Structure 1
Amino acid sequence: MSNLIKIGWDCSIQDIDDENIVRIMAVQKNSYHVSDGEHDYAAHLSGKFLNQVTHSLDLPAVGDWVLVQKLESEQKAVIQELVPRNSQFVRQAAGPKVEAQIVAANMDTVFIVNSLNHDLNVRRMERYLLAAYESGASPIIVLTKKDECSVDEVKAAIARVEEVAIGVPTVAISNVTREGIDELLEYLPAGRTAALLGSSGVGKSTLVNTLLDEAVQETKDIRETDSKGRHTTTHREMFILPYGAMLIDTPGMRELQLWDGESSMDSTFSDIEAFEKECKFNDCKHDTEPGCRVQEALENGDLSYERFQSYLKLQRELAFERRKQDQRAYLEEKNRWKKLKRQRHAGYKLRKKR
């Protein structure tokens, strides 16, 4: 058990065979790298596990705990069962297919990373905050490349961020001078797990190298013309920091496609939710109704037009995603019944022949 604690095991979980439990340290396509805190193994899913998978969310992700059968002599393991998660960061998978994709699991904190240049995008940050709250982990805003900005520029950027990340800690850091690193580590004590999330080129992999004091992740410079980044991390991997915390690095996402988030809109947009509660009518559409506190806030500057439009856009997007997911669930159920009907019909014909 002491070895599992080294990689973040929660001792409050009972009735688990700790001899055969490991943590997913890296995922690359269909291969898994796992650890029990003492030994590492190359792992794959058992046939029984695969047969029981009904949804992409059932598959293991970096940070997951799983029960395995160890093949000690080969340094391999067969994954038999997934231990229930206490948090999961999920997004809509890229492409036209309606499918959830787990970015990281069982993290205590989500570090939402943005760089202090003209790629700083508070609208994108709102999306990450929404998904972070939905994950069950605590969000922290990390602003990188502090050494490239003046003191006034840093203050202005933090002020912009704090207008949308209400009540969320914001830390500005430099991977070059290490300024702000100690403050950041206060949010990641030993034994805890954090996931780094953000666009390409914001400095996630550089931050991993800084915290490990070792160049384990490849890094590339951003384009000077627009501060856009290039993909460097191509898979998800968890690193153990020298003092005992865990850090999950993930590939950069140019745009985070939401999978869920209705229940976290009030946390992400607490200011707008507060205004809505002060509207004269409970079913106020915030358009032309009398006594609309939201319209009043827009007019007097208490609420920015851009933030309110972002709020409405995310509501529409989540409603659209929910309709797509419901349609997919309906089609899957319909196909399931068709398959069962064919099986029954084939069985009936077989019995008649006998």
Structure 2
Amino acid sequence: MTEAPDPLARLGWDEHAAGAWAAHRGDGNVPGRVAAEHRGGYVVLAAAGELRGELAGKLRKAAAKDAMQKPAVGDWVALDVHAAAGTATIHAVLPRKTVLTRRAAGRAAAPQIVAADVDSVFIVHPLDQPPNLRRLERYLAITLASGAAPVLALTKADLVDSAEPVLSAIRPLLARIAGDRPVPVHVLSSVSGQGLDELDAYVARPQTTALIGASGVGKSTLINRWLGEDRLSTGGLRDDGKGRHTTTHRELLVLPRGGLVIDTPGMRELGLWNADESVPEAFADIAAVAEGCRFRDCTHAHEPGCAVVAAAAAGQIEPERLDSYRKLVAELASLARDRETAARNRARKADHRALRAYYKDPRTRGQRD
């Protein structure tokens, strides 16, 4: 493991971070990590401690054009530290090891980074609720696309007689999605302590773990245990079965045992953004059958010679799973169209700006005449 000063080691400094920092060594800046983003700026952690961060002008302009260049919670960044004021200017985002991304809310095609530079992603689901397999598929697809390792955490085991009904429902899904890469599954209870010790390896230095899941599933309870104190608010379900939002923003927390964890607000829906390659991986069984389709761009809906439709008719593919696959593929196709539209709009605006500048420039007046 790459040696680092203890303050950086406690922030998750590893070989990837050290390699990413090489391009900035000697430029007068220091490495730091984004702990939180607020409307007025950032909270960053560095060897100098916790600092209030703001974007340098050049980075702010780049982030306005491309949301992926905007610092996100978990990112390693290059800082110009003003120690006396307790502030820092963020000049660059280091190349990311992993990035968990979803489509931002709204009609515009834009990404939203949920967490960056994480080693594993805990997909948290309570055992006292029936598993939403379609939602789990989506969580897994986006986690696989991030490059991080997915881990399934089944909480609230003390509220059910047995975890087996939920495990039986999700095992076929995990087998199809993981293939030769098993997804660890942990049955947990914060009341009895069942399974909690199994999680220690995920939150040991220099590991960084992110937790995703709907509100009220037990994410904050897990983090409070790792912190050793009730720092985060916890909340169960409302009378309508929906979770109470106890976490309102993403935050990177340094744990006493040496690892780090990123808490995220409850998310029922995750719009795809960079899951193009992970959809075939998450639906490897359907992707394999699709190799036999007559047309390469088959949508598996109405085309003649569709091997997927034939397999579904023969009972080899579950109708619900095929429907989920079709929805994800359609969403990716829609996203691709939105990206193309956004790119054309940006190019058109750039052309308009260049044309206005041309006509306003007195140096070109004679050329126009």
Global fold match (TM > 0.5):
yes
- Pick the aligned partner of 2:32 from 19, 22, 26: 22
Between the aligned residues of both structures, percent identity stands at 35
1:187 shift after superposition? 3.8
1:156 counterpart = 2:156: no
Per-residue deviation, residues 33-83 of structure 1 (Å, max 9, x unmatched): 111255111111122221333211111001001111111111111111111
Conservation of the 8 A alpha-carbon contact between 1:129 and 1:165:
no
Looking at structure 1, the residues matched to 172 and 203 of structure 2 have their Cα atoms a distance apart, in angstroms, of 24
1:196 shift after superposition? 0.6
1:276 shift after superposition? 2.8
1:31 shift after superposition? 1.8
Residue type at the aligned position of 2:167: I
Per-residue deviation, residues 123-147 of structure 1 (Å, max 9, x unmatched): 1111111111111111111111111
1:288 shift after superposition? 7.7
Look up the match of 1:240.
254
Look up the match of 2:43.
33
1:172 shift after superposition? 1.6
1:117 counterpart = 2:128: yes
Looking at structure 2, the residues matched to 298 and 240 of structure 1 have their Cα atoms a distance apart, in angstroms, of 52
Look up the match of 1:58.
69
Looking at structure 1, the residues matched to 70 and 314 of structure 2 have their Cα atoms a distance apart, in angstroms, of 48
Look up the match of 1:215.
230
- Pick the aligned partner of 1:6 from 10, 27, 31: 10
Residue type at the aligned position of 2:345: L
Look up the match of 2:103.
92
1:258 counterpart = 2:272: yes
Count the aligned residue pairs. Answer: 348
Looking at structure 2, the residues matched to 291 and 102 of structure 1 have their Cα atoms a distance apart, in angstroms, of 36
1:291 shift after superposition? 8.7
Look up the match of 2:87.
76
Look up the match of 1:273.
287
Give the SS at the match of 2:221.
helix
Per-residue deviation, residues 267-296 of structure 1 (Å, max 9, x unmatched): 11112223334x374646476856936633
1:116 shift after superposition? 1.4
Looking at structure 1, the residues matched to 222 and 47 of structure 2 have their Cα atoms a distance apart, in angstroms, of 23
Greater shift, 160-169 or 62-71, is seen at 160-169
Residue type at the aligned position of 1:41: L
Looking at structure 1, the residues matched to 46 and 317 of structure 2 have their Cα atoms a distance apart, in angstroms, of 50
Give the SS at the match of 2:229.
coil
Per-residue deviation, residues 166-198 of structure 1 (Å, max 9, x unmatched): 332221211222211122333444211111111
Instruction: Name segments (4+ residues, structure 1) moved above 6 Å.
Output: none
Mapping of residues 170-249 of structure 1, within 5 Å: 170-226=185-241, 228-249=242-263
Looking at structure 2, the residues matched to 162 and 37 of structure 1 have their Cα atoms a distance apart, in angstroms, of 44
Q: What runs of 5+ residues in structure 1 fail to find an aligned partner? A: none
Looking at structure 2, the residues matched to 194 and 264 of structure 1 have their Cα atoms a distance apart, in angstroms, of 20
